[in-house]
Chain A
Amino acid sequence: MSNVLSLTTFLPILGVLLLLFIPKDSKGVLRNVTFAVTIVTFLVSLLILTGFQTNAEFQFVENVPWIAAGPFIMRYNIGIDGISLWLVILTTFIMPIAVLSTYTAVEEKVKEYMVCLLLLETGMLGAFISLDLFLFYIFWEVMLIPMYFMIGIWGGKNKIYAAVKFFIYTMVGSLLMLVALIFLYFKGMQAGITDFGLLQFFDLKLDMATQIWLFLAFAFAFAIKVPMFPLHTWLPDAHTEAPTAGSVILAAVLLKMGTYGYVRFAIPLFPEAAHKFAPVIATLAVIGIIYAALVAMVQEDVKKLVAYSSVAHLGFVMLGVFAFNTEGITGGMLQMINHGISTGALFLIVGFIYERRHTRLITDFGGLSKQMPIFATVFMIVTFSSVGLPGTNGFVGEFLILLGAFESQLRWWTIVATSGVILSAVYMLWVFQRVMFGELDNPKNQKLLDLNAREITIMVPLIVMIFFMGLYPKPFIDKMDPAIKKLVAQVRVASVNTMAIPCADQSQMPAGHPGGEMPPGHPSVNMPAGHPVIESPSTQPAAPVANPHAEK
């Protein structure tokens, strides 16, 4: 039981070993074994969920020596708290669905495909559970390799361009993060830190200039992964070219690496810098929300539209996270899971019609609801979830994000971002209307079959989750709440520090900081921020749980 986290993470690798003994041609066996492995992984991960104590501590911790050479000590140090818990569960939950979706979609090189899927699962889980910065980096990079091959081998027309772009974009960001990581380690060494263990770095007091550089390096790497405007350009390419299962995993889990990176690393490691840059990040997030929504609106390819909607949704997540209060971050975390479910589902839906018609152009469709009623229902529910209709999961997340951001220093950003909610309704409902309603005039569409049993099986768990999280988000919020409160407290201390620094600058060390840099930036940053942030404790405990219900 104590190793359940490692077990969950490395079960897929054991699955890979199993696959190696299965001949290439028995595709059915390969698929079923992979499915079984992911299901077992999911079941094992449920042990984590049931054994998880609702508190702010890291649990299921395993910490054993790994590398000890020279100035560096790396440990196999893993554990989860309320923040990573749900992402782990999301990953193990999505994987069987992704595997099922490939049963008819992937006919060639099935074995290699399944190996990639399983390796990817281990990589993703490893990144979510790592509490050692070096270990995290390894998993973060390892994840790239199977995804690269998935896009490149089983992708669409422009697969090579998309795969290489995906790899290089991520690589540039992560290498700069690596430099920052090493630098941080040496800073930590001066303060008596002896290994890469993440938690001890939280207490490290770094001066502002250092924090800014390190934060920028981390933030850059994560911003590429999220992806944030203007670093998002790899995403539409990757999503469009990737096979369905690849898109699903990319949207549902891989993009969460970026936002998770902010929540777990960039913000708590460099809280003062995070505070300082919150307006910048929020601005980029809001631009992303509006811009991606507008671009999504004019897409002709359904898959590309969904890809751009991802950019917009993740903009919301970022906005919530950088509100730095419990509501905002809770909303952001929920929205990560929601986005995983609803966008994952959207990609599956796109995959269903693509498999039937081998086109994804909106103009090729129309009136499908008459021919495919089940499909239409499923699509409608998922669309509502993506738009954030009350009663679905998307609503809870978006509402909390907007609430949190509005209460924080990001009030004006929130007001602009809210229009993104409307825009998302516009493009999602519009595409639904064009595909599903109207005349069924294309003869090729008149013979389309409705969803079969396997496809329905794939969608049912997602739809259940959409409503479950939409109507009763309490269990999710409860589990993550203590961890989020802890994070908020960490950042709040920092926000007080940032405000205190200009004073310290003037009184004690006039030359300590480059004079012009800090004081001018600060008042403008903190003035709107100061009050709501300090007031929020009183509203906090009730807000995250009560509000969504009250609203309904």
Chain B
Amino acid sequence: MDMILIPAVNMAPILPEILLSVLAMILLLINVFSPGGQKSSLAYISFLGIIAAGVLVAIGWGVHIESFSGSVVLDNFATFFKMTFLVAAGLAVLISDSYMEREGCNQGELYPLILFTVVGMMLMASGTDLMTIFLGLEVMSVSLYVLAGFNRANKKSNEAGLKYFLLGAFSTGFLLYGMALIYGATGTTRLYKIAAIVGQMTVPSSNIMLVAGMLLMMTGFAFKIAAAPFHMWTPDVYEGAPTPMTAFMSAGPKAAGFAALLRLFLVALPTLQVEWSQVLWVLAVLTMTVGNITALRQDNIKRILAYSSIAHAGYALVGFAAGNGTGTAGILFYMLSYAFMNIGAFAIIILVSKKGETNGNVSDFAGLGFKHPLLALAMTLFLFSLAGVPPAAGFIGKFYLFSGAIQKGYIWLAVIGVLNSAASVYYYLRIMVYMYFKESTEEFEWVKVTAPVALALVIAAAGTLIPGIVPSVILEYAQMAVKLM
């Protein structure tokens, strides 16, 4: 009988993934064997696990190891994104417990699922093989489908889960088809080898299989990052999903999508940059404009942030279209800042909303400013950051994204970007108008800010404000991360 030979592999690059996977499985077991009811302990354990994983990831900074015969790599790029995912997951875990308790769906599976999502995202960021990236994407997506529909008793949540699953599966089809075509055109799935083979082609852009593969992969990822015109699922899913999961989905998976896209296009297909940057140019304009214009018309605050998250993907695409160091570092910086500011904003939404996801309209924020000044102040910070007003991280992020485009010569793209940014100010201001300029119509049914939520808010606020004033603390790392790729 032939032995299946397992080559000696270096497990070091995926230590954080291993840690999180094992922890997730242990949590599942604890959940089964522990009496029902109190699930807070699971949240605390997963938060500690995330911190531990964060330490492991941080240790890997500056290291460059390829493993699994070149299908996984640990480099600064992966490390930076892994940190982003952990930030998103950590904040999401912190704000989940009290919300799930209130909504009566505090199932213990939530935390393992979040951790599995993170594992999937990490693999996407460190995958250097089409297959690894795909596997990571699937691990992430399948967990997310469940998370979106986690509130089983709520119809909207069910709808969100199903919708996300159907469209997600569909988009995965596109992606896989694209990968197959790339494999057909080049005969390999390793990104570096693809790059070498495409580099030897005389006119790669005339290779229809290659170009079609590229476009199909782009379509698949455009679904994941919610870029227009593949964004249709976003508002419904974001509105229906439990709010902490919406917060998580808007920050984590989007970043993961960008991580994979960036590596795929910058490492495997740099020779086609002229082609893909043109497509991304159009995609960026569409995404920003559609996101912002539709957000202007919304009243439900989750939908506002959902559409705005489409717009934010558009801003990041501006940096991607530029494809230069400034723009890509901008994406890394922006994705991390976005995790802080967006999850922070969602945390406030959770506090203001009531059981059954009522109280989710902009008008329900009326008077918050003087009833709960600290909360409103935090929300103001997050909203100004989202709007790109200094001194907040969102401004610095946009500054670098648009600078990338300008450096590349895409002046009009940058102009469209800033005009979009100005339009977005309107709906962010609208929330502030209600918070500060209008009197509350009814008494706030005051939600307790539990210690974890408070901690999440403090972290989010610090992560939004500090990089806005001294951007170097993050920006330098972002730039090192894109340099080595």
Q: B414, A182: Cβ atoms under 8 Å? A: yes
Count how many pairs of residues, one from A and one from B, have CB atoms less than 8 Å apart in the complex.
92
CB distance from A209 to the nearest CB of B (A): 12
Q: B384, A145: Cβ atoms under 8 Å? A: yes
Per a CB cutoff under 8 Å, which of B370, B402, B476, B479 touches A109? B370
Q: B389, A179: Cβ atoms under 8 Å? A: no
Q: A70, B390: Cβ atoms under 8 Å? A: no
Asked if A29 is at the interface (CB within 8 A of a chain B CB), the reply is no
Asked if B437 is at the interface (CB within 8 A of a chain A CB), the reply is yes
Per a CB cutoff under 8 Å, which of A66, A112, A152, A175 touches B437? A152
Docked Cα-Cα span, A159 to B436, in Å, equals: 12
Instruction: Kindly identify, within residues 391 to 439 of chain B, every residue whose CB is under 8 Å from any CB belonging to chain A.
Output: 391, 395, 399-400, 402-403, 406-407, 411, 414-415, 418-419, 421-422, 425-426, 429-430, 432-433, 436-438
Q: A137, B390: Cβ atoms under 8 Å? A: yes
CB contacts (< 8 Å) of B402 on chain A: these are 178-179, 182
Docked Cα-Cα span, A102 to B384, in Å, equals: 28
Q: A71, B407: Cβ atoms under 8 Å? A: yes
- Closest chain A residue to B425, Cβ basis: A171
Q: A171, B403: Cβ atoms under 8 Å? A: no
Instruction: Kindly identify, within residues 172 to 216 of chain A, every residue whose CB is under 8 Å from any CB belonging to chain B.
Output: 172, 175-176, 178-179, 182-183, 185-186
Q: A159, B389: Cβ atoms under 8 Å? A: no
* Binding-face segment, B14-22, B80-88, B467-475: B467-475
Q: A69, B406: Cβ atoms under 8 Å? A: no
Docked Cα-Cα span, A163 to B437, in Å, equals: 10
Asked if A138 is at the interface (CB within 8 A of a chain B CB), the reply is yes
Per a CB cutoff under 8 Å, which of A153, A163, A175 touches B421? A175
CB distance from B366 to the nearest CB of A (A): 12
CB contacts (< 8 Å) of A159 on chain B: these are 437
CB contacts (< 8 Å) of B414 on chain A: these are 179, 182
The total of chain B residues at the interface (CB under 8 A) is 38
Q: A141, B389: Cβ atoms under 8 Å? A: yes
Given A71-B407, A153-B437, A164-B433, A178:B418 Cβ within 8 A = yes
Instruction: Kindly identify, within residues 305 to 348 of chain B, every residue whose CB is under 8 Å from any CB belonging to chain A.
Output: 325-326, 329
Q: B326, A71: Cβ atoms under 8 Å? A: yes
Docked Cα-Cα span, A152 to B369, in Å, equals: 12
Per a CB cutoff under 8 Å, which of B418, B438, B479 touches A70? B479
CB contacts (< 8 Å) of A182 on chain B: these are 399, 402-403, 406, 414
Q: A69, B407: Cβ atoms under 8 Å? A: no
Q: A179, B476: Cβ atoms under 8 Å? A: no
Q: A168, B406: Cβ atoms under 8 Å? A: no
Asked if A160 is at the interface (CB within 8 A of a chain B CB), the reply is yes
CB contacts (< 8 Å) of B400 on chain A: these are 70
Docked Cα-Cα span, A112 to B326, in Å, equals: 39
Asked if A167 is at the interface (CB within 8 A of a chain B CB), the reply is yes
CB distance from A390 to the nearest CB of B (A): 45
- Closest chain B residue to A140, Cβ basis: B390
- Closest chain B residue to A69, Cβ basis: B475
Q: A167, B399: Cβ atoms under 8 Å? A: no
Asked if A500 is at the interface (CB within 8 A of a chain B CB), the reply is no
Per a CB cutoff under 8 Å, which of A145, A185, A186 touches B389? A145
The total of chain A residues at the interface (CB under 8 A) is 35
Docked Cα-Cα span, A396 to B402, in Å, equals: 45
Q: B389, A69: Cβ atoms under 8 Å? A: no
Asked if A142 is at the interface (CB within 8 A of a chain B CB), the reply is yes
CB contacts (< 8 Å) of A128 on chain B: these are none
Asked if A68 is at the interface (CB within 8 A of a chain B CB), the reply is yes
Instruction: Kindly identify, within residues 147 to 172 of chain A, every residue whose CB is under 8 Å from any CB belonging to chain B.
Output: 148-149, 152-153, 159-160, 163-164, 167-168, 171-172
Asked if A103 is at the interface (CB within 8 A of a chain B CB), the reply is no
Per a CB cutoff under 8 Å, which of B399, B411, B421, B433 touches A183? B411
Q: A175, B422: Cβ atoms under 8 Å? A: yes
Docked Cα-Cα span, A112 to B419, in Å, equals: 31
Bitwise, B368-387 to A at CB < 8 A (1) or not (0) is 01100000000000001000
Q: A186, B425: Cβ atoms under 8 Å? A: no
CB distance from B413 to the nearest CB of A (A): 10
Q: A69, B390: Cβ atoms under 8 Å? A: no
Per a CB cutoff under 8 Å, which of A112, A142, A152, A176 touches B390? A142
CB contacts (< 8 Å) of B475 on chain A: these are 67, 69-70
Docked Cα-Cα span, A68 to B473, in Å, equals: 10
Docked Cα-Cα span, A67 to B430, in Å, equals: 32
Per a CB cutoff under 8 Å, which of B329, B391, B419, B430 touches A175? B419
CB contacts (< 8 Å) of B471 on chain A: these are 67, 69
Per a CB cutoff under 8 Å, which of B325, B415, B472 touches A179? B415
Q: A70, B329: Cβ atoms under 8 Å? A: yes
CB contacts (< 8 Å) of B425 on chain A: these are 167-168, 171
Q: B437, A171: Cβ atoms under 8 Å? A: no
- Closest chain A residue to B434, Cβ basis: A160
Asked if A437 is at the interface (CB within 8 A of a chain B CB), the reply is no
Asked if A354 is at the interface (CB within 8 A of a chain B CB), the reply is no
CB contacts (< 8 Å) of A168 on chain B: these are 422, 425-426, 429
Per a CB cutoff under 8 Å, which of B403, B418, B429, B436 touches A167? B429
CB contacts (< 8 Å) of B411 on chain A: these are 179, 183
Asked if A72 is at the interface (CB within 8 A of a chain B CB), the reply is yes
CB contacts (< 8 Å) of A142 on chain B: these are 390-391
CB distance from A122 to the nearest CB of B (A): 12
Docked Cα-Cα span, A457 to B407, in Å, equals: 55
Per a CB cutoff under 8 Å, which of B429, B438, B472, B476 touches A164? B429
CB contacts (< 8 Å) of A164 on chain B: these are 426, 429-430, 433
Docked Cα-Cα span, A137 to B476, in Å, equals: 22
Per a CB cutoff under 8 Å, which of B391, B422, B432, B438 touches A171? B422
The residue among B325, B422, B476, B479 with the most chain A CB atoms within 10 A of its own CB is B422
CB contacts (< 8 Å) of A163 on chain B: these are 433, 437
The residue among A69, A137, A138, A186 with the most chain B CB atoms within 10 A of its own CB is A69
Docked Cα-Cα span, A142 to B468, in Å, equals: 12
Known contacts A152-B432, A182-B403; 11 additional CB pairs below 8 A are A66-B470, A148-B429, A152-B437, A153-B436, A167-B425, A168-B429, A171-B389, A176-B418, A178-B402, A182-B402, A186-B406
Question: Could you show 5 A-B contacts with beta carbons less than 8 Å apart?
Answer: A70-B479, A160-B437, A171-B425, A182-B399, A182-B403
